[in-house]
Amino acid sequence: MKITDVRCAVIGSNPIVRITTDEGIDGFGQAEQYKPYLQPFVLFLRDQLIGADPTDVERCMLRIRQRGAFKPYGSAVSMIEHALWDLAGKAAGLPVYKLLGGKVRDRVRVYNGAYRSKMGGIRPEDFARSVREMKALPHGFTLVKQGVAFHNPMKREFPGFYFGDPGPQLAHGQLDRGMLTERGLKHVIACVEAMKEELGDEVGLALDCGPGWTLPDVTRFARAIEPLNIAWIEDTLTGDYVPFVNADVYRDLTMSTTVPIHTGEQIYLRQNFKDLIERQAVNIVGPDPCDVGGIAELKWIAEFADLHGILMAPHGTGNGLLGLAALLQVSATLPHNFIAFECPRGDPDWWYEIVDGLPDPLIVDGHIAVWDRPGMGVTLNPEKAARYLKDEDRGFFA
């Protein structure tokens, strides 16, 4: 079998890759909905894959892996990797999890991710209402995550939140950073306390915090919320769209508190997790399979982390329904350091009409049952999806 083409279209705002072969089998991959600009990066890699055997996934990846980089540029490589595994599974007549070594679990725990309730304000009572609504969702999440501080409008809307000038919000992932004022720190703590009072010990609470904190501030914050048994605090020092790791600084934070410290969604490739893991600089790593270099890369990181006593909670909030399938397949195979993955959804809702193979209901008691269909187990319906293609992408399904 040989690859005959690598195509990329933007459907809605999601970049989608399709790999075709001389045997009529194809594979699909999807990246975050926030990255429609990835199309030319995917097509840049096309010529390096034409003629390769797509079922030799690692050999194909060796042709293109060095062309990626930290978020967002690893996404082009990652979505191609997903499509290769989808194609290899279809060719073998097996679900991808079988090709990755087989299942460790029959159902996979997920947390709210793209199912967050709209805040409607930055007061403690607004946060309490938000998690109350998430707790009441029919999906039965046993863990929810909410953005606070630099991962929330409070950084701009709370007067005098920190010593810095946030300036205009020009792009997603823009880094605002600075020392918190005393009032700002007290406000974040009050919001967390309000959420925990609402959730009790029935539903766990994780906090998406930044990046943007200084080390002294996040140390004070973490120590202040230690009695609340927070599941983790995420991306405080580095994180979304930050192109470096700072493992030594994270280690200082992790050694100073009992609150679990989490990071990793922006990191590309296993090599860039090496310091975080070997130095035990964090308690939890959270690579995104649509950014880290793919699902095999994520599995390798999970196993290496497990050897060092570090937990795994993959990122995935904007990865769409094909990205959800990739997360499910790899998470089914991860060792027991796996906690849960951040669950994406179809956005807009018409995505559920153009993707075949999803169970209904999808999430039951905070888990998704692992399906057994070949490849990723879900696929785009060409007839239904074609109506959402742009004019320049009309040949995507041809």
- Residue 166 has what pLDDT? 77
Is-above-0.85 flag for pTM?
Answer: yes
Q: Based on the fold, state whether residues 78 and 213 are members of the same structural domain.
A: no
**What's the number of domains the chain is made of?**
2
Q: Based on the fold, state whether residues 360 and 387 are members of the same structural domain.
A: no
The CATH number covering residue 270 comes to 3.20.20.120
Q: Based on the fold, state whether residues 234 and 357 are members of the same structural domain.
A: yes
CA 397 centroid distance within chain: 27
- Residue 171 has what pLDDT? 77
Query: Is 356 a member of any domain?
Result: yes
Q: Domain limits at 385?
A: 3-94+381-393
Q: Find the farthest-apart pair of alpha carbons in the chain and give their distance in angstroms, rounded.
A: 64
126: buried, middle or exposed (CB in 10 Å: 19+, 13-18, 0-12)? middle
Query: Is 398 a member of any domain?
Result: no
Q: Based on the fold, state whether residues 88 and 126 are members of the same structural domain.
A: no
308: left (phi over 0), alpha (psi -120 to 50) or beta: alpha
Alpha-carbon gap, residue 211 to 176, rounded angstroms: 8
Q: Based on the fold, state whether residues 43 and 139 are members of the same structural domain.
A: no
The CATH number covering residue 386 comes to 3.30.390.10
Query: Is 325 a member of any domain?
Result: yes
Segment-wise mean pLDDT, segments of 10 residues, the chain, 398 residues: 98 96 98 92 97 98 97 96 98 98 98 92 97 97 97 94 84 86 98 98 97 97 98 97 97 98 98 98 98 98 98 97 98 98 96 97 98 98 96 95
Alpha-carbon gap, residue 231 to 363, rounded angstroms: 21
Alpha-carbon gap, residue 364 to 369, rounded angstroms: 8
Please report the DSSP string for 199-217 in residue order: HTTTSEEEEE--S---HHH
Q: Based on the fold, state whether residues 119 and 143 are members of the same structural domain.
A: yes
